[in-house]
Amino acid sequence: MYKKALLTTVTEFEVINVENHKIMEEEKRKKNWNNVNCPVRTVLDRIGDKWSILILLILGDTEKMRFNQLNKEIEDISQKMLTVTLRSLEADGLVNRIIFPEVPPRVEYNITELGKSLLPHIKALSEWAKNNLETIQESREKYVS
Amino acid sequence: MYKKALLTTVTEFEVINVENHKIMEEEKRKKNWNNVNCPVRTVLDRIGDKWSILILLILGDTEKMRFNQLNKEIEDISQKMLTVTLRSLEADGLVNRIIFPEVPPRVEYNITELGKSLLPHIKALSEWAKNNLETIQESREKYVS
DNA sequence: TATTGTTACTAACTAATAGTAAGCGAATAT
DNA sequence: ATATTCGCTTACTATTAGTTAGTAACAATA
* Whether the Cβ atoms of residue A120 and residue A57 lie closer than 8 Å to each other: no
Closest CA to B128 of A82, A86, A56, A26: A56
Residue B22 domain-assigned (yes or no): yes
Give the pLDDT of residue B126.
84
CA A68 to chain CA centroid, nearest Å: 25
Q: What's the mean pLDDT when you consider all of chain B?
A: 75
What is the pLDDT at residue A54? 85
Q: What is the pLDDT at residue A96?
A: 96
Report if residue B96 sits inside a domain: yes
% chain B with pLDDT above 90: 36
Residue B99 lies in a domain: yes
Q: Are residues A94 and A126 in the same domain?
A: yes
- Is residue B109 within a helix (H) or strand (E), and if so which, with residue range? strand B106-111
B72 and B113 fall within a common domain: yes
Which of A62-66, A84-88, A123-127, B88-92 comes out lowest in average pLDDT? A123-127
Q: Cα(B132)–Cα(B96) distance, rounded to whole angstroms?
A: 33
What's the pLDDT score for residue A50? 80
Provide the sign of the torsion angle of the four alpha carbons A22, A26, A28, A29, taken in this order. Answer: positive
User: What kind and span of H or E run contains B95?
Assistant: strand B95-100
Q: Is the pLDDT score of B120 beyond 70? A: yes
A61 and A27 in one domain? Answer: no
Which chain B residues touch A124 with a CB distance below 8 Å? Answer: 121, 124
pLDDT of residue B31: 41
Q: What is the C-alpha to C-alpha distance for residues A22 and A24, in angstroms, rounded to an integer?
A: 5
Q: Residue B128 falls within a domain, yes or no?
A: no
Closest by alpha carbon to A126, among B75, B96, B45, B74?
B45
Could you tell me if residue A14 is inside a domain? yes
Compute how many other C-beta atoms are within 10 angstroms of the C-beta atom of residue A137.
15
Average pLDDT over residues A57-76: 90
**Do A71 and A16 share a structural domain?**
no
Q: How many domains does chain A have?
A: 2
d(CA B46, CA B88): 8
SS3 A102: coil
**Range in A68-72, B26-30, B141-145 with the lowest mean pLDDT:** B26-30
In a domain, A41, yes or no: no
Which residue of B lies nearest to A69 if distances are taken between CA atoms? B26
Cβ(A105)–Cβ(B63) under 8 Å?
A: no
For residue B57, give the CATH number of its domain. Answer: 1.10.10.10
Co-location of B64 and B103 in the same domain: yes
- B55 and B117 within one domain: yes
pLDDT at B19: 39
pLDDT score at A27: 43
Q: Judge if the beta carbon of A117 is closer than 7 A to nucleic acid strand C.
A: no
The predicted pLDDT at position A75 comes to 79
Tell whether A21 and A71 lie within a shared domain: no
Residue at A145 is within a domain: no
CB contact under 8 A, B53 and A48: yes
A117-145 per-position pLDDT tens digit:
999 998 888 889 889 988 988 998 888 76
Q: What is the identity of the amino acid at A121?
A: H
Residue-number span of the structural domain to which B13 is assigned: 8-37
Q: Gap from A85 CA to D4 C1', in Å?
A: 27
Question: How many angstroms is C1' of C22 away from CA of B59?
Answer: 47
pLDDT reported for residue B130: 86
Q: What's the confidence (pLDDT) of residue B37?
A: 53
Cβ pair A75:B130 closer than 8 A: no
Identify whether residues A110 and A73 lie together within a single domain: yes
Looking across all nucleic acid strands, the nucleotide with the smallest C1' to CA distance from residue B104 is: C7
In a domain, A38, yes or no: no
Higher pLDDT, A106 or B5: A106
Q: Are residues A29 and A56 located together in one domain of the fold?
A: no
pLDDT number for residue B26: 39
A36-43 contacts: CB < 8 A, separation 24 or more? A38/B54, A39/B126, A39/B129, A39/B130, A39/B133, A40/B53, A40/B54, A40/B57, A40/B125, A40/B126, A40/B129, A40/B130, A41/B54, A42/B129, A42/B133, A42/B136, A42/B137, A43/B128, A43/B129, A43/B132, A43/B133, A43/B136
Bases of strand C lying below 7 A from some protein CB: 5-12, 17-23, 25-30
The rounded Cα A76 to chain-centroid distance in angstroms is: 21
Task: Report the percentage of chain A scoring pLDDT > 90.
Answer: 38
Residues A100 and A67 in one domain: yes
Asked if residue B82 and residue B62 are part of one domain, the reply reads yes
Average pLDDT over chain A reads 76
Say yes or no: B112 and B73 in one domain. Answer: yes
